[in-house]
Amino acid sequence: MSQGETAAVVKADAYGLGADRVAPALAEAGARTFFVAAAEEGVEVRAVLGPGPNICVFSGHMPGDTDLIRDAQLTPMINSIDQMLMHVEALPGHAFGIQLDSGMNRLGMEEAEWSALRDIALAQNPFLVMSHLACADDPDHPMNSYQLNTFRAMTDGIDAPRSLSATGGILLGADYHFDMTRPGVGIYGGMPFVDARPVVRLELPVIQTRDVLPGETVGYSNTWKAETPTRVATLASGYADGIIRAMGDGAYLWAGETRCKVLGRISMDMTAVDVTHVSGAPDSLELLGQHQSVDTAADWAGTIGYEILTSLGHRYDRVYLNA
Ligand SMILES: *Cc1c(COP(=O)(O)O)cnc(C)c1O
């Protein structure tokens, strides 16, 4: 258990789920601090949340962001001395946070830069001093304790609140929690939070069903050929909707309790599925839900649940329950 604040990461349109509905639901659930990747996303989140909640921007204060940061009252996580100078010059007195690099080498100030800026920055009461873990999805990775020690060495003794962990770091234990945690994927039902509730259900409508005979083929490049009489449903979603083509014919969908195999190549807008053993004519088949998660689908495509979520396209009708 952590005594700190739990912020909510809603970047990339709340991991593809619709920040306009997800952010207010999280605010309703008690979240007071939100993180986005870019100022433009922060503007959208501010528009739905209204004044009050903190909206922090991981990319910091980039050239061209000043008006957005001021008008939408965003809190940039400053990543460099250059950004710090730009921020205090353009928006003196405006809230900011500091992002430190503790070893990931992606964003944030490194030790030398931080030493040079530290006293000046801390004198202006930053909202937060944060860093990010590179290997937190692997609890046994030595990088975790290395980054923890580096972050501590850079920040022990400061008055400003500190934050190190996203979903994976939270699961590493209280040492990693500091004053604020920043879960994203764990909120949305994905690994590395093994016990996460699946929050996304994805049903794909059946456009047409047909019977194919032994020897007939289905889909592009004839990669699947019937060996027995087969009933084939054509679904109205394909790789343009995030049904990643690389899932290929290792993927399954569900008609109620019946598992149905994907047949042949996934097309841009359509996917063929074997519904031979399904009784009746299903209107739709389920790709994500109680039977299989975003991480199951990710495994088929050789990717991670994050990419499945953020690939969900714009053609779906998104229906929100209890939100
Ligand atoms: C995306 C991101 C998060 C959230 O990560 P999850 O693994 O989805 O919990 C937190 N902090 C930073 C800096 C991020 O880029």
**Which atom of ligand 1 is closest in space to residue 170's alpha carbon?**
9
In this predicted structure, what is the pLDDT of residue 277? 97
Nearest to 91 by CA among 118, 70, 62: 70
Query: Residue 44 C-alpha to ligand 1 middle, in angstroms?
Result: 19
In this predicted structure, what is the pLDDT of residue 7? 98
- Backbone dihedral region of 219: left (phi > 0), alpha (psi from -120 to 50 degrees) or beta? left
List Cβ<8 Å contacts ≥24 apart for 157-160. Answer: 158/122, 158/129, 159/122, 159/125, 160/98, 160/122, 160/125, 160/126, 160/127, 160/128, 160/129
Residue 225 is among the residues annotated as catalytic for this protein: no
The DSSP H or E segment spanning 9 is: strand 8-9
What does the pLDDT profile of the chain (323 residues) look like in tens digits? 567 999 999 999 999 999 999 999 999 999 999 999 999 999 999 999 999 999 999 999 999 999 999 999 999 999 999 999 999 999 999 999 999 999 999 999 999 999 999 999 999 999 999 999 999 999 999 999 999 999 999 999 999 999 999 999 999 999 999 999 999 999 999 998 888 888 999 999 999 999 999 999 999 999 999 999 999 999 999 999 999 999 987 899 999 999 999 999 999 999 999 999 999 889 999 999 999 999 999 999 999 999 999 999 999 999 998 75
Q: What are the structural domains of the chain?
A: 5-188 (3.20.20.10), 202-311 (2.40.37.10)
* Tokens 């100030």 belong to residue: 109
Cα–Cα distances (Å) from 78 to 71, 85, 181, in that order, read 18, 10, 18
Residue 220 is among the residues annotated as catalytic for this protein: yes
Nearest to 142 by CA among 183, 103, 194, 190: 103
Q: Is 204 exposed, middle or buried (0-12, 13-18, 19+ CB in 10 A)?
A: buried
307 vs 125: CA distance, rounded Å: 36
**DSSP alpha helices (H): ranges in 54-184?**
66-71, 81-90, 111-122, 142-155, 167-170
Mutate to test the pocket of ligand 1, among 10, 13, 22, 58 (most ligand atoms within 8 A of CB): 58
Give the dihedral sign, CA 293/295/296/302: positive
Question: Atom 3, ligand 1: which residue's CA is nearest?
Answer: 166
Count, in order, helices (H) and strands (E) of the chain: 10, 17
